[in-house]
A and B are shown apart, each in its own frame.
Chain A
């Protein structure tokens, strides 16, 4: 079974630009979560999508947005990039573990550098 795919793996942008990151979940998984990982703050939850609907959102400004397509692939967008947006952006594909906790499988991440 193929794992979670994230593209691109590396990205360099300048302040003020916008960026779109893509995530393809594990086949059959319908829920995708996005996290930002930085050395200072660690992993922080951005948002979760299920069946093309945002189900939950973390405490990030409106410059961070996302969407999910009918094939469960998801994109996240960051507009008006700031230096502090430099981070590893991780996508997690949620499987059903037969309980109220859904085991989350992470992709390799997209390393975004803002200059």
Chain B
């Protein structure tokens, strides 16, 4: 079965601390993985996708097929990073399977 698991419901860090939001997936084929973010009072939007292999707002995520993980990392958290983060597994039909979401709280 296809599944995305984000084990942490809430992650609270201090400004300047490193951040790692965990994501594990279950999928028999070749996965397409994404991170979506929802800032307060804004719509859900794409943060990054694994095929792009880019850094957005200082965030990176590496696909580890051996561990079936796609963790989101940032070396130094900023207060404006506080948001809800969703890891998602994509299918060719356009369907996205989302994880449960992790709220990142960056304290001053």
Pair from one complex: no
Interface residues of A (CB under 8 A from B): none
Interface residues of B (CB under 8 A from A): none
